[in-house]
A = this chain, B = another copy of it.
Amino acid sequence: MSPGRHPDHAPLELERFVPYQLSIVSNTVSQTIADDYQVRHDLSVTEWRVMAVLARFDGLSAREVAERTAMDKVAVSRALARLVAAGRVRRHTHANDKRRSVLGLTAKGWAIHDEVAPMARQRERELLARLDSDEQAWLARILDKLMPGDQARG
């Protein structure tokens, strides 16, 4: 290598670089879903994730919501503040630990959930419709393997 020069630059081909592709695909998909119904309900992606988790697991604390949504506790705290203010989530204090909150969807929250969830599934279907069934199966398998926290599982 001659001094002071950079002879073999081997530039990255962004459009074939997997982390870049993932980011583009992910952002496009999330944006499509967000545009469609979440803007309509004045519901951010983070808020929707919190609602989705509370729909499955009633009575979680904010920390548990954070764990299950892969969001940090500040983001969860802010999402919850909005959701509670909007009457979509109820929050009361844990009987045996006054630090913890006990969270759940209200009737209004369920109503929104029941409208948004099928739509989200529909968007997922539309995304997957661009793949044939082999590709769909491989994608599911690949994403399972790439999800963090899955390294240990065979």
Interface residues of A in 105-144 (CB under 8 A from B): 107, 110-111, 113-114, 117-118, 120-121, 123-124, 127-128, 130-131, 134-135, 138-144
| CA A132 to CA B22, docked complex, whole Å | 18
Number of copies: 2
Interfacial residues, chain A to chain B (CB-CB below 8 A): 1-6, 9-30, 33, 49, 52-53, 55-59, 68-70, 104, 107, 110-111, 113-114, 117-118, 120-121, 123-124, 127-128, 130-131, 134-135, 138-148, 151
Cβ contacts under 8 Å, A57 to chain B: 3-5
> Contact between B138 and A142 (Cβ–Cβ < 8 Å)?
yes
Q: Could you list 5 further interchain pairs (A-B, Cβ under 8 angstroms) beyond the known A22-B30, A25-B148, A130-B145?
A: A6-B114, A18-B128, A18-B143, A135-B141, A138-B139
Of the candidates B1, B13, B24, B58, the one whose C-beta lies within 8 Å of that of A70 is B24
With contact pairs A17-B124, A142-B138 given, residues A11 and B113 touching in the complex (Cβ less than 8 Å): yes
With contact pairs A22-B26, A123-B19, A124-B17 given, residues A12 and B55 touching in the complex (Cβ less than 8 Å): yes
| CA A10 to CA B114, docked complex, whole Å | 8
Question: From residue A117, how far is it (CB to closest CB) to chain B in Å?
Answer: 5
